[in-house]
Amino acid sequence: MMITMCTKFTALEIGSGDAFLLEDYDNDWNCLFDAGGSKNRIVYLLKRKRIEKLNLAICSHNDVDHANGFIGLLQSNIKIDEIWLPGTWAAILQYVKDNGIGPDEVEWMDTIERKCSKKNFEGLNYIKNEDSTKVLGVEAENLIDIESYLSLEEFNDTLSFFSEQIEMGMKIKRIIGVKEYNYYLRGRIGLLSLSLKLDKIITIAGLAYRNGCKVRWFEPVDYCTCAKVAYGLVALNSYERTRVQKPRNAQGFALLCLLTVVNEYSLVFEYLKGNNPILRFSADSDCTCQSVPYNENIIVTAPHHGSDANTIVYKQLVGDNIIWVRSDRKSGKRPCCYFKCLNIKYCLACKKYNFISEICFEYNTLNKQWVHVKGTQCMC
């Protein structure tokens, strides 16, 4: 009897960050979920696989190790038909466009405690724990239409204020070295960090529109949505929007840019085969939403590369048949103890044995199981 393999999942050896490739042979489409931290590496890996077109690309959030690769992709000759982006980007850019951001505002933002809770800021008024229709009705005066205004040309003036900061930062990077430079930026809202964040958002969105990609925007919420979208994908913690809420003031703007909140509200998606979820892209979120309980054979990408800050996910998503896949490099704090205790786990870079290779599974439609094809099981 011939075994039918219809779907392939690959965790690409991107180095820093996440880059997962999903290929559906039956329906002849593919999807890239996040693109890692290197602008050139992701292009090289896809071309090595002879992939010249992506039907769908999803950027979960604005961290360098998830989003930077999209700049390289959009500047390459690899065609992207459709790209899904966080709705928070449109809100951030609209606030900058409407209000401008100067040194005084950024200096004030830099005093905000990195790990502060979103509940402390009345000014955010962005993410609502309510039914979406109520939000659209009650907060209509604070909604913005997402249009093709996100062009590189239109935001040149907006970024002119930050360009000197970026240039200065590159000089600092050359002087103090990459490691010290990254440590300097970590968790900061300062001018240089904010400039780099905005530059990345504008570049990715602008190139997507310029290249003729179909752009769809997903606004994160703090409750389970389980909204079916397209390509068999289900949004677990967001809704697709053509209108998003913008922050009311600088406090809300600063909070949307803070690293901790950006991670928490990164976009999470499931992939369904029929009505059965067989794959979950967790990004850096601590989202525990599920379309159905995960008691079947399913691949789950480890949230935040196996960080102990997301242990709630390991506690809530329980099942002997869950296959956990961890991306990124090895580090002193990752993978955490919870990941190490999981039943079935794979690492791109195992902390103990130091192997670095892509991880690949193919889905057997007859017995509805993932078949391990490539990569070594984690020994941490």
| Helix (H/G/I), strand (E/B), else coil: 61 | coil
Give the residue, 307 or 147, on which the prediction is more confident.
307
Q: What is the DSSP letter of 265?
A: T
Determine the pLDDT at residue 360. 95
Which phi and psi angles does 18 have, rounded to 5°? -110, 140
Segment 306-316 mean pLDDT? 89
Determine the pLDDT at residue 175. 72
Averaged confidence pLDDT in the chain? 79
Bridge-based pairing state of the strands 359-364 and 233-235: unpaired
6-10, 149-153, 208-212, 253-257: lowest mean pLDDT where? 149-153
Give the rounded percent of residues in the chain with a pLDDT score beyond 90. Answer: 35
Determine the pLDDT at residue 354. 62
Segment 334-360 mean pLDDT? 80
Segment 1-12 mean pLDDT? 77
Determine the pLDDT at residue 128. 45
First to last CA, the chain: 37
Over 90: is that where the pLDDT of 207 sits? Answer: no
Q: Predicted confidence band at 136 (pLDDT cuts at 50, 70, 90)? A: very low
pTM equals 0.86
Q: Predicted confidence band at 108 (pLDDT cuts at 50, 70, 90)? A: low
Give the rounded percent of residues in the chain with a pLDDT score beyond 70. Answer: 72
The CA distance from 118 to 285, in Å, is 15
Segment 133-161 mean pLDDT? 48
* Residue 302 and residue 323 in contact, taking contact as beta carbons nearer than 8 Å: no
The CA distance from 356 to 347, in Å, is 8
